[in-house]
Amino acid sequence: MSSLQVWIEGVALWTPHLPNWEAACAAGQTASLARQTIPLPQILPPAERRRCPETVSLALEVGQRAAEMAKRDPKELLSVFTSASGETTIIDYLCETLVGEPLLVSPTRFLHSIHNAPAGVWNMVNHATLANTSISADRLSFANGLFESCIQCITDHQPVILIGYDTEAPSSLRTSVSHQMAMAVAVVISPHATPQSRYKFSGNLINGLATTYQPSSPRLDLTTAGMADAQPFLEALASGQTNLFNMPISEHQYLDISITPMHQP
Amino acid sequence: MKSLPLPIHVRAYTATSAVGSGKKSLRHAALHQSHGLTPLCTTQLKHSDKLDTWIGQVKGLEIELPTPWAQWDCRNNRLAWMGLQQDNFLLDVRHAIERHGPSRVGVVIGTSTSSIGATEEAYAIRRATGTLPSHASNQHLHTLHSLSSFVATALETQGPSFTISTACSSSAKAVCAAARLLKLNLVDAVVVGGVDSLCSSILFGFNALQLLSPDPCQPFDVHRKGINLGEAAGFALLERGEGSTQLLGYGESSDAHHMSAPHPTGQGAEIALDLALKMAELEAKDIDHIHLHGTATPKNDEVEAALLQRRFTENTWASSTKGITGHTLGAAGILGTAFNLLSLEEGWIPGTANTRELDANCGPQIQLRPAYRNTRTVASHSFAFGGSNCILIWGRI
């Protein structure tokens, strides 16, 4: 069984109370921020910016910030997009419209409902022709996104950006899709150490049930987000210390992970 | 350079679509140029009277899933189960699990619809009765990952499993993801597949985009008018090691151009082609047959035909089977693979059903009629919304 080893160069987070990574690192030490609205992507022309679905706004926000931290041009990155539930606002709109007036479905909104819409927009605005993919694994979408990102990074010897996002579920879908908090996260990884490497990541695929994650003093409260499973990973990065922890990728397997900060130049 | 150091072979495969279940149905339809398309208005699908188009519907999906899997019951998962039961596929997967252990067999499935039809139904019931049905709180069902988790449960695999959803390239990209899992020795075998089913979202979504044809679709025809949507379930079992049919290479890229129209010069598709050829250590002229994306939209076929003319000689034959099965979106990639593998094993290539007069920009490659041809190396094209391109190359060893 091989160990997945990559170097983390950039990370970004957005939640309504933690609108950037600096806020996440300071979380618990400063007063909570007032609830923020999802930032509209400045990279889009004004007309498109206004119509932009939330998942696209979230993806572009964290993707851009993580790439900036990593000092990487998005054109040189493979990209893996992950989401537990996709664009639930538009799914709600579609289902409602289909019941009433199906011939009035908006073509633009239909395109935005497609799971890989944020991926397509990311590559378009960045003029990036490298491959992207869009995946889901329900409540384990972050862990599987990270897993697939490491796999691509190592097999293709190429840096990868992982971009994960989920919106707050609209009320009609609250029983079908439980999450109540919007969240987006992005990570840039590289197959070898570079001057901008911030952490060394090592993951082993293990059969069995992971030990339940119980942080002693968590900085982040992601429990109502679609990608709550990102918490151990983000806590580890925010701590600035070496961390060992497990992340399940299914009910049968987990990643046994160690994250070690690199010395900053 | 990306390399494929491991041999990866196909242990088993199967496909079920509007022309029937299993390889025999695909073979029969291709060799007889018969299609499984029907006018939407003759079906029992919801709102079938509101759209003037043809569709590729699978018959016999009224039967519920077996009781242990009731939480996953919906049209898409019923179609998946029907597909899995063909061509001894279940037995081949069971043997792979016995050979390698359940945690060494992964499942990577592509889909664009997954169970959204069930979510649509929940809203319809609420409109009629005032409340959502109880199944609306079934979170195993109303999630994109529903299909993959059902398939992994039904097959009793315990290896890595996730869902790829990149529209029409989903199940082709599943093959690439599987190859990477095998290359890194994280698994010994992977079930790849794609399942998409007919539902109102896609019918009215594509209608809104004005991409539906009111007639049986005619890929590359000068009079083509757009797509017919179809549903299908296809699966393949890939395993490390040598075998008679092997994955020679793959290439993935992004158009970075437009959400629903291909790059006008086909540059994204060409990037994927070059990556696949490089990995396979082949030149374009070595490809005997290409299973085209060929959806019968004006734009796709124009760009794809130009790519053929630009990069391939008359020795490479090509055809589109969308006129037989309809465009099955998330399952289109695995159907392309099924046709590719039938070509390699049985020495024939499909034609381009329903098409009568090829567009002027089509070169000598595109075949209208099926033909017997001894193929050694074949490829499939998948070009999706969002500009996602995936090309696979399979070979007979």
Name which of B124, B145, B166 is nearest A133 (Cβ-Cβ): B166
- Asked whether the ipTM of the predicted complex exceeds the cut of 0.95, the reply is yes
- Structure tokens of A230? 């990102």
Nearest Cα of chain A lies from the Cα of B102 at a distance, in angstroms, of: 10
* B205: nearest Cα among B300, B81, B70, B113: B113
Name which of A128, A156, A253 is nearest B2 (Cβ-Cβ): A156
Inter-chain contact B103–A121, Cβ cutoff 8 Å?
no
Dmax over CA atoms of chain A, in Å, equals 60
pLDDT digit string (tens) for B149-199?
999 999 999 999 999 999 999 999 999 999 999 999 999 999 999 999 999
Q: Does the pLDDT at position A31 exceed 70?
A: no
Cα–Cα distance measured from residue A78 to residue A152, given in angstroms and rounded to the nearest whole number = 8
The chain-wide mean pLDDT, for chain B, equals 96
On whether the pTM is more than 0.80, the answer is yes
Cα–Cα distance measured from residue B109 to residue B204, given in angstroms and rounded to the nearest whole number = 25
- Within 8 A by CB and 6+ apart from A31, the residues are none
A 145-204 residues with CB < 8 A to B? 147-148, 151-152, 154-157, 172-173, 175-178
Look up tokens 């039961």; give the residue.
Answer: B85
Burial level of B242, CB count in 10 A (0-12/13-18/19+)?
Answer: exposed
Q: Does the pLDDT at position B2 exceed 60?
A: no
Q: Which of A177, A209, A250, A256 to mutate to test the interface with B (most CBs of B within 10 A)?
A: A250
Q: Which of A76, A116, A202, A247 to mutate to test the interface with B (most CBs of B within 10 A)?
A: A116
Interchain contact A105–B (C-beta under 8 A): yes
Greater confidence (A64 vs B140) lies with A64
DSSP SS3 for A246: strand
pLDDT of B321? 98
Nearest Cα of chain B lies from the Cα of A237 at a distance, in angstroms, of: 25
- Structure tokens of A190? 């590289």
Interchain contact B186–A (C-beta under 8 A): yes
Q: Which of B116, B158, B204, B329 to mutate to test the interface with A (most CBs of A within 10 A)?
A: B204
* B18: nearest Cα among B29, B6, B10, B9: B29
Inter-chain contact B201–A85, Cβ cutoff 8 Å?
no
pLDDT of B5? 66
Look up tokens 């869902």; give the residue.
Answer: B163
Bridge-based pairing of strands B388-396 and B377-384 is antiparallel
B 70-129 residues with CB < 8 A to A? 102-103, 112, 116, 119-120, 122-124, 126-127
Interchain contact B210–A (C-beta under 8 A): yes
Name which of A96, A115, A250 is nearest B144 (Cβ-Cβ): A115
- Taking CB atoms and an 8 Å cutoff, what residues of chain A touch B120? 94-95, 98-99
pLDDT of B299? 95
**B168 is annotated as an active-site residue:** yes
Burial level of B60, CB count in 10 A (0-12/13-18/19+)?
Answer: exposed
What stretch of H or E contains A69? helix A54-70
Give me the mean pLDDT over the A54-60 stretch: 97
E strand intervals along chain A: 3-14, 78-82, 132-136, 160-166, 183-190, 199-207, 243-248, 253-261
Confidence of residue B3 (pLDDT cuts 50, 70, 90): very low
Q: Which of A121-125, B252-256, B262-266, B310-314 has the weakest average pLDDT?
A: B262-266
Interchain contact A253–B (C-beta under 8 A): yes
Cα–Cα distance measured from residue A31 to residue A132, given in angstroms and rounded to the nearest whole number = 38
b/e A32-43 (16+ beta carbons within 10 angstroms → b):
eeeeeebebbee
End-to-end Cα distance, chain A = 34
**Of the listed B9, B263, B289, B327, which one is catalytic?**
B327
The chain-wide mean pLDDT, for chain A, equals 93
Nearest Cα of chain A lies from the Cα of B31 at a distance, in angstroms, of: 34
Q: Is the CA virtual torsion B79, B82, B88, B90 positive or negative?
A: positive
b/e B15-48 (16+ beta carbons within 10 angstroms → b):
bbbbbbbbbebbbebbbebebbbbbbeeeebbeb
Q: Does the pLDDT at position B1 exceed 80?
A: no
pLDDT of A213? 84
Interchain contact B165–A (C-beta under 8 A): yes
pLDDT digit string (tens) for B285-326?
999 999 999 999 999 999 999 999 999 999 999 999 999 999
* A180: nearest Cα among A215, A220, A222: A222
pLDDT digit string (tens) for B329-385?
999 999 999 999 999 999 999 999 999 999 999 999 999 999 999 999 999 999 999
